[in-house]
Chain A
């Protein structure tokens, strides 16, 4: 894995509050994430894993340090530029699915493209829908889908615009183990088959095992950074 890093973070510090109540969510994190790799960020509650993801994805600004994503220093961008960056180059998968209940599955999948006003790549979308196994549920609304189906819609949504990187925040947190495995397998496949870059935050070691690399945080610092084992096997065992 000697490719140029897709995301490079340098000396990230993120503090909340002032005075005695100051919390160091990130206390100096330097990390490089190469393209086409599946990275899991782990750590207990309060370790700073979510903050790291938010800062890397341009949802939050570091107190100091900088993030270069896909060749762009995002720490200096204004809100409009960050919004465009997220729209065009980043995909998101959330713990609570966060689908729009008023739109159908298909409309939810195409949402990022609609926001951008871009015409979808029909072949790609068809392929994607097939991969996530939703071909016959496309015209259902989220309320008519199971949790696993909803999260698969969310994964498809994240991939639909062919983003440079997908951030997944506890994507299996609201799912039972069987559907968790489905969703994890889907994420794995998108890296292996579509060369997608994925960063997943999780506190579940079983889920993290599917990644290529596991970064563990504690108290705002990286405490370990290691290659994972045979991720697919782990996922299939779960």
Chain B
């Protein structure tokens, strides 16, 4: 029996290849994601291990509260270094800086990256702790000298002997490039730009005079690293982390893994979508081939094969197909990993990905997932194959027996769809835990798609009638429409695969349009100043020096800074916003409670009325927050406010308090009120270009466009990843058409015999494909719109905005995709030999 299954596969090689591709593309993204992130992780491991190789113990500030983009941890003061140097078992200790707040400028005076951090690092005081190797030139030795990482120097054409401008907490300064450096053989520090300076210069530029981000300690002869760690641990306050070099490297690796963990999860989610679509294709292909081979199965049964054997034969096909597809996917995945690296490089992240790390886990997961998906998808068709009665072998034109459940299918589908939507709502509105929420949302979405997929055989006819109407004036169109609905189940499953991709694309585009609209609404409501100042990357905070610089300019009437920091309240991390109470009223419109905000004093906090209600706070209450410095702050609640523009969040403090007590010294936004006329704006831009070229001044309209552009960039990425799922579903259309054409060979032969031209045959197949694709598109749009409504309603803060023109474009693209998918099947159908086709059984 196994031989029958394998021979069967060989006999249908093209079909096999197409179906295997449906699995392969999903597996490809799984494998690609793993290989890519594993390669990054291993490269980082190497960097960290190598840079800490000579460090027996590393001391760093404890930063369990701060995350990216937030500050708050004080550097280690010099007296701690002295204390360590005096401890027994210490051979040497020195402090260094590795500060993320720098900006390196390219030759045009623009920031070198649009997202990857730039570090201002200090050259090690003791050579034994030096993590960097000189690639060219030498290490910096004076206040005007800098060495750059080799990757940045090469990419930005910054040559040794030339100059480079660097901005830190201090304004822009020009340095002579005296060398380029590598780390652990890599040209870049994980994609970040590094400006290596002498320690005093780095301390000056970062505003960390006399302080360090890390202290490296070497143990004296005869002292073990762990023993030394314990000695230092006991001597230092808890706000410092003390780890052995190995532990520190492991910790850094873990942090990186966590940072890239999001990327891994996101990419795997898209791989999951592609596989889900692939499962539809496999299910459909197997359903069709099983139906076409009903007589073969009946014959096997007549010859004495048991149902179990028939079933096993179909499942064997599935397993072989899955294994084949997965293996191809795994191979492609390695290429995809390289492609991902190239893509990241192109958008400015030179992630360190040396070599190709293919872990056993990658192979096992890729193969297992691919085979499992194929088997699950072929289970129902396999079961159906067992229901063919042996007597069918003797009858002509056997139809597959209808499944007993088919009458229940529609109500079941409705229930499943409703349950899926309910799960989505629950995931968004009820569940607070992110992992549970995402899992539930995924299950909900899958249930919705399967539900609509099961419903769609009933919808195929009506939709095709509408879509096909304009085509039906010609015979080819009429036949295309009839053929598309001839087997509603088959068309439905094929269209459903496309539906998933279209639904997600339309959902994303509606969601993005709504988000843009909402943000624009916030800006309209909140911003009453003339200009918003922000980092060109849109999110990195910048030095408080910019505020001082701009406030002193003629024509700048009001400047209000906004800072975002994190504190811990009752064990949970919460954001706080820092504002300038004196000036905020002139540039930002709070819905209510502006007097509370304007009157905020040092040591006070204002809370949103919602938060006050939830927590039972009112003016005069005391709110205790823990800062990153491990200090407990008792803040007096000054009052409540309402902010419909959503910039302030739920908690507001003065920048004075935020800067001094929480340690957030950098600003995320400045809102400016300018004197009339163009002069003031020009003065602002001139000053920024001179001293802080990494930040920009935008009018309300420009700011809206910038926000929209950021959303669009993300949307573009999502589209690119969803394209994979859509490509898979197009393979499904190709497959279905090819199988249907095989079934209709004799009919095509007759049509050709009585005078249908090849062009007409091609046009008929293309239109059939287009109808299937448009059915998928219509279903997808419907599901996408419903999902978007559910999401925006459940989230609540977003105004629904449906970009009708985008959706129309999407529908047209579906139709075009359908026509493209038909290219090969149509050609084959048109080329059929008339006589052979007429003789076809």
Contacts and interface: CB of A to CB of B under 8 A. Distances in A.
Q: Which of A96, A101, A102 has the most chain B CB atoms closer than 10 A to its own CB? A: A102
Interface stretch (B78-86, B156-164, B369-377, B744-752): B744-752
Contacts of B474: 117
A103 interface: yes
A86 B757 contact: no
A80 B482 contact: no
A111 interface: yes
A115 B479 CA distance: 11
A87 interface: yes
Interface in B660-678: none
B755 A115 contact: yes
B751 A115 contact: yes
Contacts of A96: 746
A38 interface: no
A59 B753 contact: yes
A83 B821 CA distance: 26
Nearest to A54: B835
Contacts of B758: 79-80, 83
B475 A98 contact: no
B486 interface: yes
Given A98-B750, A102-B483, A116 B835 contact: no
A83 B835 contact: no
B309 to A, nearest CB: 34
Nearest to A57: B753
B750 A115 contact: no
B835 A87 contact: no
Interface in A179-220: none
A96 B747 CA distance: 11
Contacts of B755: 83-88, 90, 112, 115-116
B760 interface: yes
At the interface, is chain B mostly helix, strand, loop or mixed? helix
A85 B747 CA distance: 19
Contacts of A92: 750, 753-754
B838 interface: yes
B756 interface: yes
B473 to A, nearest CB: 10
A83 B757 contact: yes
Given A83-B756, A92-B753, A111 B475 contact: yes
A100 interface: yes
A60 B749 CA distance: 13
A117 B750 CA distance: 17
A87 B483 contact: no
A102 B756 contact: no
Contacts of B746: 96, 98
Contacts of A57: 753
Nearest to A80: B757
A117 B760 CA distance: 11
Interface string A48-63: 0000001001011000
A112 B486 contact: no
Interface string B723-758: 000000000000000000000001101111111111
Contacts of B422: none
B386 to A, nearest CB: 27
B835 A115 contact: no
Could you say which interface size class chain A belongs to?
20 to 34
Could you say which interface size class chain B belongs to?
20 to 34
A111 B476 CA distance: 11
Interface string A69-85: 00000000001100111
B834 interface: yes
Q: Which of B482, B483, B749, B834 has the most chain A CB atoms closer than 10 A to its own CB? A: B834
Q: Which of B755, B758, B760, B838 has the most chain A CB atoms closer than 10 A to its own CB? A: B755
B757 A94 contact: no
B506 to A, nearest CB: 31
A60 B835 contact: yes
B730 to A, nearest CB: 25
A59 B834 contact: yes
B289 to A, nearest CB: 21
Nearest to B486: A102
Interface string A114-152: 111100000000000000000000000000000000000
A100 B753 contact: no
A102 B479 contact: yes
Given A111-B475, A115-B475, A115-B760, A100 B747 contact: yes
B106 to A, nearest CB: 62
Contacts of A79: 758
A120 B818 CA distance: 33
Interface string B338-349: 000000000000
Contacts of A94: 750, 838
A88 B475 CA distance: 16
A27 B751 CA distance: 30
Contacts of B756: 83, 87, 115
Interface string B282-319: 00000000000000000000000000000000000000
A86 B746 CA distance: 17
B758 to A, nearest CB: 7
A48 to B, nearest CB: 14
Contacts of A80: 757-758
Given A54-B835, A102-B486, A112 B479 contact: no
A90 B756 CA distance: 12
A157 B585 CA distance: 85
A86 B754 contact: yes
A12 to B, nearest CB: 16
Nearest to B759: A80
B754 A103 contact: no
Contacts of A117: 474-475
Contacts of A101: 486, 747
B754 A111 contact: yes
A214 to B, nearest CB: 24
Contacts of A83: 752, 755-758
Contacts of A103: 478-479, 482
B472 to A, nearest CB: 11
A98 B753 CA distance: 11
A109 to B, nearest CB: 12
Contacts of A60: 835
A111 B747 CA distance: 13
Interface in B502-545: none
A102 B838 contact: no
B677 to A, nearest CB: 71
A86 B838 CA distance: 15
A114 B475 contact: yes
A200 B646 CA distance: 85
A86 B474 CA distance: 20
Contacts of A59: 753, 834-835, 838
Contacts of B483: 102
A111 to B, nearest CB: 7
A117 to B, nearest CB: 8
A33 to B, nearest CB: 19
Given A100-B479, A112-B754, A116-B755, 9 more contacts: A57-B753, A59-B834, A80-B758, A98-B838, A100-B482, A100-B750, A102-B483, A115-B475, A115-B760
14 contacts: A80-B757, A83-B756, A84-B757, A87-B754, A90-B755, A92-B753, A98-B749, A100-B751, A107-B478, A112-B754, A114-B475, A115-B751, A115-B756, A115-B760
6 nearest CB pairs, A to B: A87-B755, A102-B482, A98-B750, A114-B475, A86-B755, A83-B757
Interface of A: 54, 57, 59-60, 79-80, 83-88, 90-92, 94, 96, 98, 100-103, 107, 111-112, 114-117, 157
Interface of B: 474-475, 478-479, 482-483, 486, 746-747, 749-758, 760, 834-835, 838
